[in-house]
Amino acid sequence: VTSSDVARTLRSVVDGVPVGQFREGDQLVDILLRGPASERAQLEQVEAAEVPSARGGSIPLQQVAQVLYALEEPIIWRKNRDISLGVRADVVEGVQATDVGMALDQRFGELRARLPDGYRLDPGGEMGENSGAQESIMAGMPLMLATVLGILMIQLKSLSRTFMVVLTAPLGIIGVAIALLAFGKPFGFVAMLGTIALGGMIMRNTVILVDQIRQDREAGLPAWDAIRESTVRRFRPIMLTSAAAVLAMIPLTRSVLWGPMAYAIMGGLLVATLLTILFVPALYASWLRLPVPDKGAGVAPANSA
């Protein structure tokens, strides 16, 4: 007796085997051959089903198989060719799915240690998608940085000024941390996207200021005067553009999905703009190693950048 013989016997008893068709009007109705309802309802009757053998006889099913009551999934789901079972749930309004996933992941630590070989617990849903998206972003990060540096080099035409601009990009992390902690928002995937975009906004403000200093120095102003006048002259445009970007993020703060990104951009841009006005002039003067001017003797000369 083979497993195919057992499967055909069980199918004929439980599901039935089509043996023909019956025409009723303009429709064809399948004719099934299967055991009676009383035989299908009782486990003992199923065990007594006769399985045909290769020798022409038949033997009871209970002699070649053990029949048990058990639950079976109607559909077997697979992920990467492995059988998987998913557990899904919706979070209540106002709660981040990432927070719930992180809390569950901590609870599952002991359970993972007790799992037998071949079994594992993997996060899915928004948490799993965020993890995959972060990996894809990190993979493209070197190319993005190289592109940004190339564009800055073309625009500023100076390696030193390019590095000065790049050094101001991390200033927004201070404001991002303060804003997310103050409003209780997680640093998830969308917040990371906001932080990356924030770096571009900060460098844009720095380019405006650094390029204005360059123009003033080319116009004949001494280095200290160029730094001071450029900072005063570009203060209003930089503050207004940053304020416009911050105000544009306010409607997104009510979104559960995009709220962390909005708070990251708002807090980071607000703090970074204020620091840029103070940090870039000091960085420029330190980079050129400008001596402190004597108030009574005028402004000291400086080397070109």
Q: Domain-by-domain residue ranges, the chain?
A: 3-63, 79-114, 133-287
CB atoms within 10 A of CB 230: 24
The residue assigned the tokens 């703090």 is 271
Tell which residue, 181, 175, 193, 186, has the closest CA to residue 246. 175
User: Given this model, what pLDDT does residue 294 score?
Assistant: 63
Rounded CA-CA distance 288/293 in Å is 14
- What angle (nearest 5°) sits at the alpha carbon of residue 153, between those of residues 147 and 156? 135
pLDDT computed for residue 65 by the predictor: 81
- Angle CA(82)–CA(87)–CA(91) in degrees, nearest 5? 140
CA–CA dist 252, 261 (Å, integer)? 8
Q: Are 179 and 194 in contact (CB under 8 A)?
A: no
| Sign for the pseudo-dihedral over CA of 216, 222, 226, 232 | negative
CA atoms within 13 A on the CB side of 46: 19
Neighbours of 266 (CB within 10 A): 24
- Quote the CA–CA distance of 264 and 305 in Å, as a whole number: 34
Fold match, 3-63 / 133-287: no
Element (H, E) at 60: strand 58-60
Burial class (CB in 10 A: 0-12, 13-18, 19+), 280: buried
pLDDT of res. 178: 92
Bridge partner residues of 32 (DSSP): 18
Span 3-63: which CATH code?
3.30.2090.10
Per the listing, tokens 């077997």 go with: 76
| H or E element in which residue 50 lies | strand 50-52
The whole-number pLDDT of residue 298 equals 47
| CA distance linking residue 67 with residue 47, whole number of Å | 7
What is the reported pLDDT for 302?
47
- One digit per residue, the tens of pLDDT, for the chain of length 305 reads 788 888 888 888 777 888 888 888 888 888 888 777 777 777 777 777 788 877 777 888 788 887 777 777 677 788 888 888 877 777 777 676 777 777 777 888 778 888 888 888 887 766 666 666 677 777 778 888 888 889 888 888 888 888 888 888 888 899 999 999 988 887 877 888 889 989 889 998 889 888 888 888 888 888 888 888 888 888 898 899 889 999 999 998 888 778 889 999 999 999 999 888 888 888 888 887 777 666 554 444 545 44
The burial class, CB within 10 Å (0-12 / 13-18 / 19+), for 189 is buried
Query: Which fold does the domain 133-287 belong to in CATH?
Result: Multidrug efflux transporter AcrB transmembrane fold (1.20.1640)
Q: Which residues contact 48 (CB under 8 A, 6 or more apart)?
A: 60, 61, 62
Q: pTM here? A: 0.58
Q: Angle 235-194-105 (CA atoms, 0-180°, nearest 5)? A: 145
d(CA 253, CA 246): 11
